[in-house]
Amino acid sequence: MSRGAAAITPQSARPAVGEHPEAGRLRGIGEFLLPFAVAAVAWELFAALGPLPPKLFPSLGTVARTFGDLLASGVLLAHAQATILRLVLGFALAAVLGVAVGIAMGRYRWAEETLLPLVSIGSPIPGLAYAPLFILWFGLGNLPAVLLIAVAAAFPAAVNTWTGVKAVKEIWIRAAEAMGAPEHQLFRTVILPGALPYILSGLRLALARAWRVLVAAEMLTSVPRGLGWLIFGAREFLNTDVMLAGIAVIGLIGVLLERLVFERLERWTVVRWGMLKG
């Protein structure tokens, strides 16, 4: 196992002194699954004994069967693909815009004085508040949904990037300037690595906000398909199991993005550089 991979191994998954590695691995898996098992038992008890009828609060078995049926028919995959495409486009625009604005505010006083008040005003406004304007300006369909995601998610990326750039130690910058480092090299070797933990945190927050906006935006902008469209459409027919299946897919996509994108980025950069402990 590489040093980078070892650095991010959860403490609970590492075998204790004198413990067999296989036993430690099984213990780590058990500790990971325990909260899900407790939540599943609580769900089943409420479904069986709670005041809500099965139509409104189905058992996990019913949700699993519906999930399998939707997956086998290709309906769930088609909706998930449409949602992921909008998410990727909107989040990419938000990441580029937010990080660029944050770096500019952190590096240049004129940009900070000009843009920070606008970012401070726009950041607390819920993303869905812009939805009526975007529908009037861009009509219905994919374009307003993608732009709505981009605008809503750009604010946390910009704020965290600005904070990270301002947090870079001044002595590092002065030392690089004293050694004659040009602006582009100063940015690439000092400012960007120093601010990267904040930037990654901002992108995580931006992705969470993008998800919240996307699900509602898919319904408001009348897109032909998407997980948000699936969830809101199932509500009209009280298909709670379909709604929960769509919600489960959103959660699974979020976990995959965290594990396959953000954790790998951290492993290859800030953890490897010793700036963040895995």
Task: Report which of 228, 254, 257, 226 is spatially closest to residue 75, judged by C-alpha positions.
Answer: 226
* pLDDT at residue 273, rounded to an integer: 67
CATH number of 61-268: 1.10.3720.10
Kindly report, residue by residue over 145-176, the tens digit of the pLDDT.
999 999 999 999 999 999 999 988 888 777 87
* pLDDT at residue 275, rounded to an integer: 62
The residue ranges of every structural domain in the chain are 3-51, 61-268
Confidence of residue 12 (pLDDT cuts 50, 70, 90): very low
* pLDDT at residue 20, rounded to an integer: 64
User: In sequence order, which ranges of the chain are alpha helices (DSSP H)?
Assistant: 3-7, 21-49, 60-73, 75-107, 109-122, 131-138, 142-167, 170-178, 183-186, 192-220, 227-236, 240-257, 263-268
Q: In the predicted model, what is the mean pLDDT of the chain? A: 85
Kindly report, residue by residue over 258-269, the tens digit of the pLDDT.
888 888 877 787
Burial 112-142 (b: 16+ CB within 10 A, else e): beebeeebeeeeeeebeebbeebbeebeeeb
Which residues does 152 contact at the CB level (< 8 Å), separation at least 6?
94, 126, 127, 128, 130, 209, 210, 213
Instruction: Please tell me the distance from the alpha carbon of residue 206 to that of residue 250, in angstroms, as a whole number.
Output: 16
Kindly report, residue by residue over 226-265, the tens digit of the pLDDT.
998 899 888 888 899 999 999 999 989 888 888 888 888 7
pTM of the full predicted structure? 0.80
Q: Is the pLDDT of residue 53 over 80?
A: yes
| Residue, of 271 and 13, whose pLDDT is higher | 271
Task: Report which of 168, 128, 167, 169 is spatially closest to residue 149, judged by C-alpha positions.
Answer: 128
Report the length, in residues, of the chain: 278
